A = this chain, B = another copy of it.
């Protein structure tokens, strides 16, 4: 067990067999390199399919992320999106403009605060977002299919705990020296 389905790399040959003296016998620390690599390969293949679909219509991964969250939370503000994605206004501006110009996302002024531009997917945008999400969902489902019921919760819990807690917006300003 432990390397259940591990196929990613070419694994051409033991590699170390090609070097002569490089067998430096330094006791490698007990790190789970394999799990680290699983994260890398899993994420890479997780986004590969959407990437292809997007490339065909002149979009990239950045457009996907924006469209995804706009579709998930219609009516969200630009600022919300910036915080969610943790990118700058300028970076967002570029891709958002394209999404709007190409008719995937709509902007409407906020009803209560008219400075806000609330974002929502158009029907076209919703279709694309759901198409992309559908592929990713299918892949996730396939990977979860063999697991027992608790397995799904384990995976979900694991991923949740890999996430840094959201930076508490207001409360950070306190200088530790000020504590006295």
Contacts and interface: CB of A to CB of B under 8 A. Distances in A.
Given A143-B162, A165-B7, A156 B42 contact: no
Contact of A22 (B40, B112, B120, B142): B120
Nearest to A82: B10
Contacts of A31: 130, 133-134, 137
Interface in A91-111: 108, 110-111
A4 B157 CA distance: 6
A38 B159 contact: yes
Interface residues of A, number: 88
Contacts of A150: 150-151, 154
Contacts of A172: none
A154 B154 contact: yes
Nearest to A6: B160
Contact of A147 (B9, B18, B108, B158): B158
B166 A10 contact: yes
A139 interface: yes
- By Cβ-Cβ distance, the 4 closest A-B pairs, closest first, are A5-B160, A19-B75, A42-B162, A143-B161
Interface of A: 1-10, 12, 15-20, 22, 24, 26, 29, 31-33, 35-46, 48, 65, 68, 72-77, 80, 83-84, 86, 108, 110-112, 116, 118, 120, 126, 130, 133-134, 136-137, 139-144, 146-148, 150-151, 153-166, 169
21 contacts: A5-B157, A5-B163, A8-B166, A10-B169, A12-B80, A16-B74, A19-B108, A22-B118, A29-B130, A29-B134, A35-B156, A36-B133, A36-B137, A36-B140, A41-B162, A41-B163, A144-B158, A147-B157, A150-B151, A151-B154, A151-B157
